[in-house]
Structure 1
């Protein structure tokens, strides 16, 4: 979790963290293309009128938010098509959330997430909630803007620990192959040894001849 200070009408402490449901992701977490991650941006304000709005979010292969390789998944507070992004809450309170399957469309081994945020002061005549259905602009009292980042996030296929795991699996397969070969060789040697020990024998059976005496009686 990386914290930033946003200057505006006063000072706001903005945090961006990644969640698995409601639980923070551990450091150097890895995700598969089908796994969702929740992006939460929050500010430390106790005023009911203060809301935070996520305006833009994007991913980069480095920690530099201005990297030339950029994957936007939220623009103008609305999901970018075909990015598997869902806005869960935005402009409702001091915390906004969205979920995304980031590696379903980003083909990188590691990424960093960045979001541009707006601090909004809500009044009875001006809501802070973005309208992604009607795509209409609503007047919002934006009192500050800022940016927050988080990462790295590894794709599970490329996670550094997997290289060691795959190497260990290769060694195990080699050992199993050698043991299996040794077992087959031992069985063949045992069969050959037993065959030599028994040898080849020819058995000739001569039927025993019996002498029979016959007496014929006339009637």
Structure 2
């Protein structure tokens, strides 16, 4: 996952067109295997015009159903919002339990309540006692490395599929954290620069 901040709709369209053409030419991906997702249907006409002008062939019409109305897309948007609000945790802080459970049981991941009970039981079997509810599960969710290790540990066992889904969720969390970090870093840099500029303008007695 990568984040680019464009200064204008035209620059945004140029960047998207460049990415699509590169994927098509360099990797042989067919045009009909790629998609551009817009924030709103109102932007579609202008975006289509810009992309066509830059040599990107388009299928054309807007979808009959908005993506946010699709269960999996809605779950992704909810999870992305949780990441932006810091509810998926940080390097030294576990994800918040409600947001984590919402992701794990969403159509995006697909674990059932029974799956989660079985995973909890397995995780608690050979690990220290939890200090907070679901601490071990949240710790695995926060670390793709731990999740992958669990997948290998449970490979070919009765919980192999559930461990794989947990690992997928861990990758989603890591990717969204990374995107949020990329978005927030420039803003933090601008604030530091503003503070430095303000400080430079202060004169002592």
The answer to whether TM tops 0.5 is no
Q: Normalising to structure 1: TM-score of the pair?
A: 0.24
Q: Normalising to structure 2: TM-score of the pair?
A: 0.25
Give the number of the structure whose residues are more often helix, by fraction. 2
Give the number of the structure whose residues are more often strand, by fraction. 1
